[in-house]
């Protein structure tokens, strides 16, 4: 299952400049999801992080993993339910940053369900560049009515 940017925007409330996933490339319903973000030097964040030494901010990597993970609850819902629900980020645990992400990189997010009870989802999130782990965290989210 693949979701393009239009389908992602049906599930997530985020929009430019804060929509941090370009495409969902693989889904196992309710279990795991993979997506990516192309990191471009034209991204305004590089004006200040850091001039002359552009590094994609770790906090945005975490947010991108969270947005990708937020797709998971929607993979087990009916399409007509999407418009009435939103996923709220609850917590970040065990976050680690392993390698800088640079302009020109393709940042691949792989997020798996650790546990799902009712509205609460606990997720194992990892980010890769060229199949090398660059960041990881355990995330918790809650699906709510809008």
Write the DSSP assignment of 98-135 as a string of letters. -S---TT-EEEEEEEEEEEETTEEEEEEEEEETTEEEE
Which pTM value belongs to this model?
0.96
CA distances from 67 to 21, 47, 86 (A): 7, 24, 11
pLDDT at 107: 98
- 19-26 mean pLDDT: 98
Model confidence pLDDT, tens digit, residues 86-130: 999 999 999 999 999 999 999 999 999 999 999 999 999 999 999
- Give the per-residue pLDDT at 117: 95
CATH code, residues 5-145: 3.10.129.10
- Mean pLDDT for 51-67 is 97
Q: Which of 14, 49, 53, 116 is catalytic?
A: 49
Q: Distance (Å, rounded) from C-alpha 128 to C-alpha 68?
A: 13
pLDDT at residue number 73:
93
Please say if the pLDDT value at position 72 is more than 90.
yes
The yes-or-no verdict on residue 79 having pLDDT over 80 is no
pLDDT mean over 17-39: 97
**49 annotated active-site:** yes
The domain limits of the chain are 5-145
């Amino acid at each position: 299952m693949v979701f393009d940017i239009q389908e992602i925007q049906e599930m997530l409330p985020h929009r430019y400049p804060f929509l941090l996933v370009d495409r969902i490339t693989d889904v196992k319903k309710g279990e795991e999801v993979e997506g990516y973000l192309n990191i471009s030097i034209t991204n305004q964040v590089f004006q200040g992080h850091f001039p002359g030494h552009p590094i994609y901010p770790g906090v945005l990597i975490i947010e991108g993993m969270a947005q990708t993970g937020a797709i998971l609850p929607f993979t087990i819902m009916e399409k007509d339910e999407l418009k009435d629900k939103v996923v709220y980020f609850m917590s970040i645990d065990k976050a680690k940053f392993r390698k800088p992400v640079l302009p020109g990189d393709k940042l691949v997010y792989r997020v798996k369900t650790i546990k799902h009870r009712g509205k609460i989802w606990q997720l194992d999130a990892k980010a890769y560049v060229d199949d090398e782990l660059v960041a990881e965290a355990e995330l918790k989210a809650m699906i709510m009515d809008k």
